[in-house]
């Protein structure tokens, strides 16, 4: 199980860091991932894109990616883009871990 915090923004300038970190754990054999947004300011379209492509890669390996602790701003971005239908989004990190 890997839990990753996104600190600050998840945008075009830094999205590769998150991608690399998750892919390393995936290669190392982890299959259950939670990305937690408690400390995230905003996300742009390329940040959303990274989440979509990570989710796809993890699913291809039989794993699952869950998201947690999206504030109201971030939730709006997922709703506008309909990506809220693609991810399991938990209110808190603990709820994301429950029964994982």
Ligand X SMILES: Nc1ncnc2c1ncn2[C@@H]1O[C@H](COP(=O)(O)OP(=O)(O)O)[C@@H](O)[C@H]1O
Provide the binding-site residues for another protein, judged by CB under 8 A: 8-9, 11-14, 42-46, 48-50, 52-53, 56, 72-73, 76-77, 80-83, 85-86
Query: Cβ 9 to ligand X, closest distance in Å?
Result: 16
Q: What count of Cα atoms within 13 Å lies in the side-chain half-sphere of residue 88?
A: 15
Buried b (16+ CB within 10 A) or exposed e, 7-18: eeebbeebbeeb
Residue 97, contacted partner among ligand X, another protein, none, CB below 5-8 A by kind? none
Query: Cβ 78 to ligand X, closest distance in Å?
Result: 16
Contact between 45 and ligand X (CB under 6 A)?
yes
Looking at the Cβ atoms of 34 and 48, the one nearer to another protein is 48
CA distance 23 to 17: 10
Contact between 71 and ligand X (CB under 6 A)?
no
Contact between 53 and ligand X (CB under 6 A)?
no
Is the Cβ–Cβ distance between 76 and 21 less than 8 Å?
Answer: no
CA distance 2 to 8: 19
Q: Which residues bind ligand X (CB under 6 A)?
A: 45, 49
């Amino acid at each position: 199980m890997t839990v990753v915090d996104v600190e600050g923004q998840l945008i075009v300038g830094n999205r590769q860091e998150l991608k690399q970190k998750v892919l390393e754990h995936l290669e190392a054999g982890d299959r259950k991932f939670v990305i937690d947004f408690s400390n995230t300011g905003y996300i742009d379209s390329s940040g959303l894109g990274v989440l979509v492509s990570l989710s796809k890669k993890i699913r291809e390996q039989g794993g699952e990616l869950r998201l947690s602790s999206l504030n109201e701003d971030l939730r709006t971005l997922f709703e506008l883009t309909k990506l809220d239908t693609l991810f399991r989004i938990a209110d808190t990190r603990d709820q994301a871990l429950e029964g994982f």
